Structure 1
Amino acid sequence: MTAMMTVETLEGDAQFEAYCAKPARTPRAAIVVIQEIFGVNAGIRRKCDTLADAGYLAIAPDLFWRLRPGIQLDPDVPDQMQEALGLMGRFDQDAGIRDIQAAIQTARQMIGGGKVGVVGYCLGGRLAFMSAARTDTDASVGYYGVGIDTLLGEKNAIAHPVLLHVPEEDHFVDKDAQARMHAGLDDHPKVSLYDYPGEDHGFAAEFGARRSETAARLADERTSAFFAEHLG
């Protein structure tokens, strides 16, 4: 079952929308799905639907609501890609983390106080790492997160398991940045990194030219196993 729902901000002064996919039976846990720079588009909604099929309550909050609510963009359309990059430049990431925490709290209430994980893509991959350090999520997964090498100062705040998927040919995250990620995180007891040789940014997208089927399936299998272990 899928529907749009509202989430109240932590401050209690506003509400924003989120896409919600519910499993057919009692949820085994909940997962907050963190958008790319393209908004809660069809690909992100499909991610939620797949998680619901696996037994999770899945919520994808509209993190761009302060800029323009309801944004849905297609990365394969050049003008929409440029619009998305512009939105990224205006996005307040600290406010986004607070909204993710609000979504986590809402999801936890919906499942009666059980475990809640996060999974994010692109911008969402970065925010998933930040969430691991700044929220009470129980497990975090980031796909091709941008700029994680600049966030390594937050790693000591990570108390719960983190999984990062790193495409080696990511044109937004160069080899030096990837090396810094490994140097800073390989010895962290809660963090695991998987590298994907030959793969580029967006390889696990549900739709469009960016998807690389074999690598996407492998990464998603690893994510599924990770959440099964740490969320139940």
Structure 2
Amino acid sequence: MAGFISVPTLEGDGAFDAYVAKPAEDATAAIIVIQEIFGVNEGIRRKCDSWAKAGYVAYAPDLFWREKPHVDLDADVPEDFQAAIGHMQKLNQDQAIRDLEATIRAARAAAGGGKVGLVGYCLGGRLAFMAACRTDGDAFVAYYGVGIDGLLGEQHAIGKPTLLHIPTADGFVPAEAQAAMHAGLDDNRHLTLHDYDGLDHGFAAEMGNRRDEAAAQLADKRTADFFAEHLA
């Protein structure tokens, strides 16, 4: 069972939509899939569907809702890519974290009070790292998060298991940023960093030209094993 539902804001002054996929049996844990700059598009919805098949209740909140609800763009279409950049630039990321906190509450309730993991991609990878610093989720995974090197001052607040997937040829995360991430995070006992040599941004996209099948499968298996361990 899958579709969009309404999630109230923390302040109770509004509500936003989230795509929700539920497993056949009652779930005891939840996973929140945090969108790329392309919105809750088919690729993100497919990731939720896959987590539901694995036995989790999966949520993908629409984080662009205050500016434009239900953005659904294709990374392989140049016009869509430029539109996505515009939506990202208008996003208040601190507010997005509060929307993620509201989603954690909804997802935890849907999982019968169980644990909640968060996994994000691109912009969502950055937000997953921020959520590890600022929310009460139980485990966090970031795929090719952008600008994490500028957030290292917050990493002392991370107290839950956190996993980062870092492609070494990421066109949006230069080598010096990757080096700063390793220098700042390798000694944090709550964090695990995996490098993917020679791969570019978006290698684990569910569909489209960016996907690298072998690397995506490896990263996704690591993520699945990580959540199986920490959300049990």
Q: TM-score, normalised by structure 2?
A: 0.99
Does residue 40 (structure 1) correspond to residue 79 (structure 2)? The answer is: no
Structure-2 residue corresponding to 1:137: 137
Structure-2 residue corresponding to 1:218: 218
Amino acid at match of 1:120: G
Structure-2 residue corresponding to 1:88: 88
Of the structure 1 ranges 9-18 and 104-113, higher mean CA displacement relative to structure 2 is found in 104-113
C-alpha separation in 2, matches of 1:138 and 1:111: 13
5 Å-filtered alignment, 1:67-146, equals 67-146=67-146
C-alpha separation in 2, matches of 1:126 and 1:111: 25
5 Å-filtered alignment, 1:18-57, equals 18-57=18-57
Detail structure 1 runs of 4+ shifted over 3 Å in the superposition: none
**What is the aligned-residue RMSD (CA, Å)?**
0.5
Amino acid at match of 1:44: I
C-alpha separation in 1, matches of 2:113 and 2:217: 31
Gaps of 5+ in 1: none
Deviation at 1:28, TM superposition (A): 3.2
Does residue 194 (structure 1) correspond to residue 194 (structure 2)? The answer is: yes
- Residue by residue over 1:57-96, the C-alpha shift from the partner in whole angstroms, topping out at 9 and shown as x without a partner, is 0000000001100100001000010000111111100000
Does residue 204 (structure 1) correspond to residue 204 (structure 2)? The answer is: yes
5 Å-filtered alignment, 1:58-73, equals 58-73=58-73
SS where residue 176 of structure 1 aligns?
Answer: helix
- Residue by residue over 1:126-185, the C-alpha shift from the partner in whole angstroms, topping out at 9 and shown as x without a partner, is 000000010000000000000000000000100100000000000000000000000000
C-alpha separation in 2, matches of 1:85 and 1:124: 13
Structure-2 residue corresponding to 1:178: 178
C-alpha separation in 1, matches of 2:4 and 2:87: 22
Does residue 10 (structure 1) correspond to residue 37 (structure 2)? The answer is: no
Amino acid at match of 2:97: I
C-alpha separation in 2, matches of 1:111 and 1:185: 31
C-alpha separation in 2, matches of 1:111 and 1:204: 26
Structure-1 residue corresponding to 2:150: 150
Deviation at 1:209, TM superposition (A): 0.3
Deviation at 1:199, TM superposition (A): 0.5
C-alpha separation in 1, matches of 2:202 and 2:194: 15
SS where residue 152 of structure 1 aligns?
Answer: helix
Aligned residues: 232
C-alpha separation in 1, matches of 2:222 and 2:176: 25
Q: TM-score, normalised by structure 1?
A: 0.99
Amino acid at match of 2:231: L
Gaps of 5+ in 2: none
C-alpha separation in 1, matches of 2:213 and 2:110: 33
C-alpha separation in 2, matches of 1:107 and 1:221: 23
